[in-house]
Structure formats: C-alpha cells, structure tokens
Structure 1
Amino acid sequence: MSESTTSVELSSGTPQQKPATIYDVAQAAGVSHQTVSRFLKGFEGIRPETREKVERALGELDYRPNLTARSLKSGRSHRIGALTHDLSQVGPSRVAEGASAAAREAGYVLDFISLDVRNPRAIEESVEMLTQHDLAGVLALSNTDEMTRAFETTEFRVPAFIHTEADDAITGHPTDLNGVGIPALIDHLVGLGHRTLLHIAGPRNWSASRNRILAYEAGIEAAGVASAGILAGDWSARSGYEAVRSRADLDATAILAANDQMALGAMLALKERGLRVPDDVSVVGIDDIPEAAYYDPPLTTVRIDFDSRGRQTLLTLLAQIEGTDVRPIDVPPPELVVRRSSGPVPT
C-alpha cells in the first residue's frame, strides 16, 4: 500500500502551484486512475507496458509523495484510523480486537470508524473525516469484494494497509484454514463413517466464503465422498436455519457449516424436522466462538486464532509507519475441536 499522495510546494516569488494528481497521471498515461492507484500501492498484476506508461507519466508530471506522511516517522502522532464495515461478524470483530490490543502495546491508539456500505461515498467521507486529524496511518479492514475494491482505489494521505483474506482461487495457495482446518473437519467426519456431506456457505462476495467452498469441494474429492450440495447462507444463525428448512430432502448424514452461527441455526431446523444431532445428522462449524461449547449439543468446530491475525495486521501497518521490517508473530494454525455435535454415521 502506497504511503504517497500529492502535496503543494511553494517557491519564493512564485505563485502556489497545484501538484499533479493521480487523475493527471492517469490522463497522461492513457490509463484509469484506478490503475495508477494500484501501481502506487504496489499491487501486482499490472501489465509491463502499462507499468512503463505510468512510470513515465509520474516522472514527466513530477508526481511527489506527501511529505507529511514521511514526517509521521518522527512519532508525533500515535493515532491510527481503522476503517471497517461489519464488526457484527465474529471473525472481523476479533481481528479488530487483536489489532487494537497490538496498537495499545506499541503505544498507539486505534480509532474505529464503521462505514455505511449502502452509502457510495462512505469511504470518501470517512477518509476526509480521518484526515482532519493528525494520524500515523490507516488500517482498512475489508471483508467483501466491493469494500476491497473501494479501499484499493482510495487515496490515503498517510501510510495505509488493507487487510482482507486472500482469494485462494487467484493465489493458488490455500490459506491455513482451507489447507488445514476444513480438511481436518472432513477427515473427522469421514472417520466417523459419513459418506455424503452438505455444506452451508457464507455470502459469495466474501473471499472467506469462496475459499471455504473451494476447500470443501477439494476435501470431499480427496476423501472420495459425495456432496449433497451447497446451500446459501449469510453467516447468521437465521440463514443456517432457513437453508436447512428450504431443503426438502437433505440426502446427507453430516452438515459442514461455514461458521458456527449457521451451524446453530441448522441444528434447530434439524430438531424441528424430528432429526437428532448427532444420532441422525452430524453438524460441524468453523471459528469456535465462545458459545460453541455451550450449544445443545456442544459444537464440533475448527478454532481460529483471530487475535493473532489482527495483531499481525497491525504490525504490518506499523512497519510502514516506522520504516522498519515487518515483525512476524507466531499465528497458531487452525485446530480441530471435537465435541458432541458429530458422531458415527447412523446405521
């Protein structure tokens, strides 16, 4: 993520000149301003010929970074603005808590601004509000494709870092949850004799949801078992409940929900259909929220260390602010937690 923006320079005896903006650079290079923004923020995937055009335009227009951003290394500001849009979900809220704790430990204060995703100017307005204050940097916590694109094309005037889950279909390298956690859940169910599984997925505009679908599909293929399909959810318990209610015939002996809340809703729907968990249908989730151990029955799930992920995100931004190398921390891998919601396949 680039730390640069434009600034106004003064020359003795000459009028104040407005510096080049990314829109000026884009026009000179014959590309979109989004492409220039991505170039400045270090994103990969820009074609070499396009990169060359942008570099030439930057030089010709004397595009300069904001010197204010560089001065932040002096430590005058210890406030970081955090942009987010969905702290109602367990994962995002716990990532934010981890980032906030790491900020306090490093001597910084993390100020959260929750964005109204229904407002197309939400990010612009929030950034304008943030930059009215003396900030050391901006942490942009994104979960959806729309918000990630919006953050990527926003001109921050201070060091900024976008946190979002990488899309496994693009990177080709599964995240630890999808490479370790979900296969462990599937292996657990297969070990109990289950041969037909059903998945309740999160919203498709979340990379986390798409990644879990990919991991589910790869896992059942590797295990040589069948899928009874993928039902749509939105992370809420209500959506898990409605997904199971909408299915006339489950055709599965086990349900793998993309998070614990949807698993909770699924268990209630199964109970209302006269099915017992796990005697008739096993149910497993992901995240290991604090309440998972107190579901009826207690939920088998995968524990994710969101706190460490949030801390690592904040440390990555601090490295930009302070001009140092990123200090890696040990992020525990996902851990299978077996409880009473999963059992042997019914005979």
Structure 2
Amino acid sequence: MVDRRVSMADVAERAGVSGQTVSRVVNGSPRVDPDTRARVEAAMAALGYRPHRAARALRTGRTQTLGLVVSTLASVGNSRMLQAVADAAASRGYALTVVTLGPDASVADAFERLAEQGVDGAIVLNEATERLRGADVRAAGLRLVVVDSPRDDRFGVVVTDHAAGAESAVRHLLDMGHPTVHHLAGPAGSFAAAERERGWRAALDAAGARVPDLVRGDWTSASGWGAASTLLTAGATAVFAANDQMALGLLRGIAEAGRDVPGEVSVVGFDDVADAADYRPPLTTVHQDFDALGARAVAALVDGIEAGAPAAFETVPTRLVVRASTGPSAPAR
C-alpha cells in the first residue's frame, strides 16, 4: 500500500488555518503574519509536506529550478562551486540543472537548452564566463548571475577578491625575506587567473621588488610539476601558485629535484582545498570561500527572480592560511 501524499488541506487542518493561508505560505506571499507563517511551517515540517513542483509551476509561472553553466567539472574549484550552488539552491527550495560546455559549444547554446527546460534563471561559473563576451545574453530571456567576471550591467556578478588574496600571499613571502616571488599562473583567458596575476604584480611593484617572468599552467597538478624545473632554473626561492592543484605538482617537482620546501623554496597556493593541509609539507594558501560564493550567487539570482531585485556586484573576501610550506629566505650559497 502506498502512503497518501500529504496535502495542503492536511496542513491547514493541523495548523488551524485556511487552505488559502497555506497556499500563501508555500508561495512566499508577504500577506501572512509571522506567527501564522511559523505555525503553518511547523505543521508542514511535522507532516512532511512537500509542495508539488509541477502544480506550483502552473500557479506561479515558475519551475523552482535554476540552471548552472560551467565549462568543466574536472577542476577542483568548479566541482566545489557545483556543490556550494546545489546546497544553496536546495536551501531556497530550488532544484538545479547543470549544463557543461564542450570546447566548441557557445554559451548561447547552453542558455537555449536551459530555457527549453523551463529554468527560472541561471548561474554561469568561472571559465565559462569568458564566453559571455559579445554574446546576446538576453536572447533566451533568462535572469543571470555570473561568478567571476568583470562588472557588467547585463547580469549580476559575484566575485572572489582574487587580487587581494594574491597580494596577501606575495607580501607574506616578501616579509619572510625573499627578494622576489615567482608566479605559476593559471590559463590565459581565465578571469580568476588574470586577477591573481594582477595582485601578484601589484604586491611586487608596491615593494619595489623585481617582477620575474611568469610561468603559465592550466590549473592541473601535472602543469605544476612540469613548471618546477623552469622555476628552479630561474632561481626561484619563493613561488606563488595560482591554485592548490598546481602547487601540489610543484611540490612534487621540487622534491624530485632534490630541493627542500620550505628550506630552499617556499610555496603558496590559492583556494585552500580540503586536502591542502595534508600536502607534504602542509600548504600555505589563500582561502577562497566557495560556500559563501555559492550562497551569494544563488541569493542574488533567487532575489531577482522572486522580488525583481536589481543586478548587483558583490565581492567575497579571502584570507591567507599560513602552514609549513613557507619559511624565511635561505642565505645565499
């Protein structure tokens, strides 16, 4: 025997209110006083009531579904953001539909697919934002929030303060006596990589330190490992890597060259991934708050969908986490 689905009438009877009042609570109407709303929500929780998504879509014209556009889920940052956005969407009562862009797909194609699935709005992540340049983002009629993009009046933007985080990493290394800091940069075309590079240059310029040639990676640990010999040949005693995965590969490459971290070379990463504290040695890194990014992006999108809130530009701060991969500059041999 299948249990009968809990109805609005059941909730209304338990809460001692009308079915219309329950409907108003379910649909987020402001025309319910706080005490009554709390009583209805308590009845819903006690009975295990779940609003019927399809029926609500017919009433409100909204599907309670958000889209997410991402270039790839292979990178740690993108997978962390997917989790953060999914959690934040669920907390607001929204489902999530994900579209990954292949190497040749346009962002317009992704928007068209999402519009066909009836999403109420979409979030665009990280490297996928590069494909918004020149795109007609209004064609699909979707409200958008973009994570990591320059300010743009066409959509809401939420960014990590990448430049400030990079500056804090470089200042930390300079304060430890290193004459300069080399940079293992992220891929060209990435907003985050460009902002972290900007912060690296700004900190060196402010200190009057030499700005070495950067070495470019692709976010992967393999590219960090491959960059190790180039950085060591250049005489690097301190390296700021644009993400933790590249820093991990760099640590391996330095160790294989018979050099000590941090005795001979100090390394700082960016992101503070879950495993950063378990690297060998534990990695000094810039903490990026993925949960806050996801929550703010979803809040901005949902507030726009439900209340018509204007598109805004928000910045999420970072903080430096000092561990054992950085140390004082060793005396010249």
Q: TM-score range by the shorter chain?
A: 0.7 to 0.9
- Return the alpha-carbon distance in structure 1 between the equivalents of residues 208 and 104 of structure 2: 43
The answer to whether the aligner puts 1:107 opposite 2:93 as a matched pair is yes
Pairing partner for 1:263 from 229, 243, 247: 247
What does the per-residue CA deviation read over 1:96-116, in whole Å, with 9 as the maximum and x for residues that have no partner?
222221211111101112121
2:72 corresponds to which residue? Answer: 86
Query: What does 1:321-332 align with in structure 2 at a 5 Å threshold?
Result: 321-325=305-309
C-alpha contact (below 8 Å) 2:111/2:142 kept by paired residues:
no
What does the per-residue CA deviation read over 1:53-74, in whole Å, with 9 as the maximum and x for residues that have no partner?
xxxxxxxxxxxxxxxxxx9992
C-alpha contact (below 8 Å) 2:180/2:238 kept by paired residues:
yes
Pairing partner for 1:177 from 129, 143, 162: 162
- Structure 1 residues 248, 98: CA separation in 2 closer, same or farther (over 3 Å shift)? closer
- Structure 1 residues 175, 109: CA separation in 2 closer, same or farther (over 3 Å shift)? closer
- Return the alpha-carbon distance in structure 2 between the equivalents of residues 175 and 126 of structure 1: 24
C-alpha contact (below 8 Å) 1:81/1:111 kept by paired residues:
yes
1:35 corresponds to which residue? Answer: none
Q: CA RMSD in A?
A: 2.8
- Return the alpha-carbon distance in structure 1 between the equivalents of residues 92 and 316 of structure 2: 21
The answer to whether the aligner puts 1:281 opposite 2:265 as a matched pair is yes
- Structure 1 residues 154, 245: CA separation in 2 closer, same or farther (over 3 Å shift)? farther
2:287 corresponds to which residue? Answer: 303
The answer to whether the aligner puts 1:136 opposite 2:116 as a matched pair is no
What does the per-residue CA deviation read over 1:299-347, in whole Å, with 9 as the maximum and x for residues that have no partner?
001111011111111111112211343799x976211111111011112
- Structure 1 residues 72, 305: CA separation in 2 closer, same or farther (over 3 Å shift)? farther
Deviation, structure 1 residue 140: 2.6
C-alpha contact (below 8 Å) 2:261/2:267 kept by paired residues:
yes
TM-score by length of 1: 0.70
Letter in 2 for 1:311: A
1:225 corresponds to which residue? Answer: 209
Letter in 2 for 1:106: R
Q: Determine helix, strand or coil for the equivalent of 1:118.
A: coil
TM-score by length of 2: 0.72
Letter in 1 for 2:65: R
- Return the alpha-carbon distance in structure 1 between the equivalents of residues 144 and 319 of structure 2: 31
Q: Determine helix, strand or coil for the equivalent of 2:271.
A: coil
Deviation, structure 1 residue 226: 2.3
The answer to whether the aligner puts 1:118 opposite 2:77 as a matched pair is no
Structure 1 residue runs without a partner (length 5+): 1-70, 168-173
- Structure 1 residues 344, 309: CA separation in 2 closer, same or farther (over 3 Å shift)? same
Deviation, structure 1 residue 257: 0.5
- Return the alpha-carbon distance in structure 1 between the equivalents of residues 291 and 90 of structure 2: 14
Identity %: 34
2:146 corresponds to which residue? Answer: 162
- Return the alpha-carbon distance in structure 1 between the equivalents of residues 281 and 184 of structure 2: 19
What does the per-residue CA deviation read over 1:42-96, in whole Å, with 9 as the maximum and x for residues that have no partner?
xxxxxxxxxxxxxxxxxxxxxxxxxxxxx99926411122222122222222222
- Structure 1 residues 142, 341: CA separation in 2 closer, same or farther (over 3 Å shift)? closer
2:233 corresponds to which residue? Answer: 249
- 280-289 vs 110-119, greater mean Cα deviation: 110-119
- Return the alpha-carbon distance in structure 2 between the equivalents of residues 175 and 158 of structure 1: 24
1:318 corresponds to which residue? Answer: 302
1:21 corresponds to which residue? Answer: none
Deviation, structure 1 residue 280: 0.7
Letter in 1 for 2:90: R
- 145-154 vs 274-283, greater mean Cα deviation: 145-154
Deviation, structure 1 residue 247: 4.7
C-alpha contact (below 8 Å) 2:241/2:270 kept by paired residues:
yes
C-alpha contact (below 8 Å) 1:141/1:162 kept by paired residues:
yes
Letter in 2 for 1:307: D
C-alpha contact (below 8 Å) 2:183/2:239 kept by paired residues:
yes
- Structure 1 residues 72, 291: CA separation in 2 closer, same or farther (over 3 Å shift)? farther
2:328 corresponds to which residue? Answer: 344
- Return the alpha-carbon distance in structure 2 between the equivalents of residues 229 and 294 of structure 1: 30
Post-superposition, which runs of at least 4 consecutive aligned residues in structure 1 deviate over 4 A?
Answer: 150-154
- 157-166 vs 215-224, greater mean Cα deviation: 157-166
- Return the alpha-carbon distance in structure 1 between the equivalents of residues 93 and 238 of structure 2: 47
Q: Number of residues paired by the alignment?
A: 268
Q: Determine helix, strand or coil for the equivalent of 2:211.
A: strand
- 98-107 vs 127-136, greater mean Cα deviation: 127-136
- Return the alpha-carbon distance in structure 1 between the equivalents of residues 206 and 277 of structure 2: 29
Deviation, structure 1 residue 141: 2.5
Deviation, structure 1 residue 277: 0.5
Deviation, structure 1 residue 151: 5.1
